[in-house]
Amino acid sequence: MTREERKIDKKESIINSAKTLILENGYQKITVEDITNNINIAKGSFYTYFASKEDLLNGMLEEILKNAENRKEEILSKKYTLEEAILYSVESRFNVDENKIKTMLIILSLTYNFEKLCLRTRKKLISIRDKNIETWLEIIENEFGTEGKEINEEYAILVEEILFSALKKNLYYSEMEEEVGMYTKDIDLVYKRGNTEKIKKEIKFIYRIILNILKGER
């Protein structure tokens, strides 16, 4: 392993430590010291790898953003009909694995601390959402053409919003009384929720809603 590789490795391990802690306690509560203690390095070492605490978020979101880009390309590379594209998109968002769940919960935690974040981080966070919207935009343009850019974008945003809100409601919200409005910390629970009959129906429901909206008269 070269020096450079080791550096990347360490960076990765710091990011993972932070992810774990955000999932457990929310971004609001974690400190640089928590992150370093968690992997038995010194507090000061953090700054060898990241310029600041917010820079860490950047690293984290960079990774997440790349995944979002990949997903976008993957969907668009297939020559789906509109129906197929919608169904596939909805399914792939509801079809969670450990990594997707963690990613989503981190984004949700950051969103619940949005005002605290610095510009750069906020931009990254918005980019990730935009990536999903762009995907919808292309799906829409594939079907209806690239005219009416603005109206198409509006539809794209609307659709993403509907899907995102359905995801939060059905998979991520905590049901504990003392965590009203918060997201669950139980990754396994999310996973289980993702594999129920209820979710299969929900997927169809959202699919129909979206299709209905996109195919409705304009």
Partner DNA sequence: TATGAATGAGCATTCATTCAT
Partner DNA sequence: AATGAATGAATGCTCATTCAT
- Interface ranges with DNA (CB under 7 A): 3, 6-7, 10, 29-33, 41-49, 51-54
Q: Is 26 in the site for a second copy (CB under 8 A)?
A: yes
Q: Is 119 in the site for a second copy (CB under 8 A)?
A: yes
Tell me the C-alpha distance between 187 and 174, whole Å. Answer: 11
Beta bridge partners of 173: 183
Q: State the virtual CA torsion across 112, 12, 59, 99 in degrees, nearest 10.
A: -50
Identified binder of a second copy from the candidate list 109, 132, 135, 152, rule CB under 8 A: 109
CB-wise, 79 or 115, nearer to a second copy? 115
Q: How much is the CA Rg of the chain, to the nearest whole Å? A: 19
Tell me the C-alpha distance between 171 and 183, whole Å. Answer: 9
Beta strand extents in 28-72 (DSSP E only): none
Residue 116 neighbours by CB distance under 10 Å: 12
Q: What is the DSSP letter of 78?
A: S
CB of 20 to DNA, least distance (A): 16
Identified binder of a second copy from the candidate list 112, 142, 143, 189, rule CB under 8 A: 112
Q: Is 122 in the site for a second copy (CB under 8 A)?
A: yes
Identified binder of a second copy from the candidate list 116, 149, 200, 204, rule CB under 8 A: 116
CB-wise, 76 or 158, nearer to a second copy? 158
Q: Is 125 in the site for a second copy (CB under 8 A)?
A: yes
Positive or negative torsion for Cα 40, 44, 48, 52: positive
| Coil vs helix vs strand at 22 | helix
Chain contacts with a second copy (rule: CB under 8 A): 26-29, 109, 111-116, 119, 122-123, 125-126, 154, 157-158, 161-162, 165-166, 169, 178, 180-182, 205, 208-209, 212-213, 216
